[in-house]
Structure 1
Amino acid sequence: MPRVVVRGAGLPSVVLGPGESLLFGRAPHGLFRPGPGRVAVALPDCAPHVSRLVGELAVGADVVALTWLGAGEAQLSGLFDAPGGARRVILTRSASALLDAGENQLVLLRGRRDAAGRFADLVVTLDVEPATRDAPVEPVGAGDTRTGPGLARGGRDWFVALALAEPWLVGADDYPRPPSNREIFERVREWHGYAWNLHRPQRVDEAIRAISAIAFGAADDPYLAPRAGRLLNTRFAVARRAAEVRLVTAADLAEVERAARNRKLPPPPGSSGGPAAP
């Protein structure tokens, strides 16, 4: 069953599972009938010409559908597992599209207004991931202990956190610097087989910002505080913190290393695809 993580600049990550839907726009609250599994999110810094309700993202048992409800247009790009490669479509009012597995980008052209009043594109990332397993849902009482904030296991940000915190997870905490964007991309590609869009350095930076927000919380997030030192020092702090609060663990690292080795092993003799035994 699919699982969707919705991200955007200034937008808290939203995770949707089967049977849930997300309505979003400049001010969507009050424009729909609330119900179980239906949530609304206001996109930050929207230009005044953006509709109050622009779209609905619905997650089904097998597919994820986006229905465009806004007065203007938007571009939808499927970047990785789209049939035949990357695709780009234009969404107009009442148009629907099924999202591809992997990362999809929804772009509202000139939909964001900055502090100076200038218009820029507003980008929302829709990451469609298959659920690894169905965890039983248990009622949580007022006195029960709950798991703290974390990363979606097996997702892009989880793999970036693993690569970023690797020196601390293997005990090399005297490593002179945190891994670079290129090193993170190569490690994720080695472990996972493909690396989303992490070949673009700005995507690695976005993932690290998301990791920082979860690892530190809004009150202590170093990316939200005035920066006295170099950006490298901030990345070092995020890497160490991700390991300390166990967003990723040494066991996670061992598991992905083992999975990567198994993918590289040749088939045993006599099996299909290997030489026959004498």
Structure 2
Amino acid sequence: MPKVVVRGTAMAAVELNTGESLLFGRAPHYALKPGAIGLTLPECASHVSRLVAELYVGADTVSLTWLGAGEAQLSGLFDAPGGARRVIMTRSMTALLDDGENQLVLLLGRQTPTGGFADLVIGIEVDLGRTVQPGAPDAGTGPVTTAGPGLVRHSKDWFVALALTEPWLAGADDYPRPPSNREIFERVQHWHGYAWNLHQPQRVDDAIRVISAIAFGARGDPYLAPHGGRLQNIRFAVARRAAEMRLVTAADLAEVHRAARNRKLPPP
């Protein structure tokens, strides 16, 4: 029969058995029901929902249903190329957890003592005795809350983020490379028709630093940490992180492509 242990920094371990569920978030106790345990996540940022998720231990499976207004990244181990899976949990989505160690990351969900944001990491150890496959979306609702830090839509930095993450958003990420400053300038000019001052490479670099600070938070920003490698490696990490955090999305990419096509249509 399944057993689950939930752990996190500055948080007492919680053990669950078959038929039990765990409701967790910034202040989840208002939603408690029979057979459920409430867990207040420590150091939660104010933009995190009061109830972000429900972890349920069934007769032979363990499921995680995401109920929060924001998003989180779920990672687990299973028999697949590379030995791991990583999915973005969005509202109403349910996933069956893998046998072994799973990790749930609330991106920029933790308030730091300096007033910034950092990732909030929760470890979920599952003992099933077998491997299960990821589940499918399910119905559910959750409380509305304020959004976390992000980019202003249609701003210069927003367009740079789109150009930077385009290989990931377009699905061409088998062996992606971050675009060059010149390529970013050309993409923004094509989409928007006006590229601000991005013809100057330093202005592109400045925008990417802004994106990095939002995507990683002050404590995790790779530009603020000592590094001996190439800056290109940092740009790769920023591009991937921005795509994972949905600072910009595939829908945003489709929107700017559509706007560029419509702008070139001849007048009726």
Q: What TM-score bracket applies, with the shorter chain setting the length?
A: 0.3 to 0.5
Q: 1 or 2, which has the higher helix percentage?
A: 2
Normalized against structure 1, the TM-score is what?
0.45
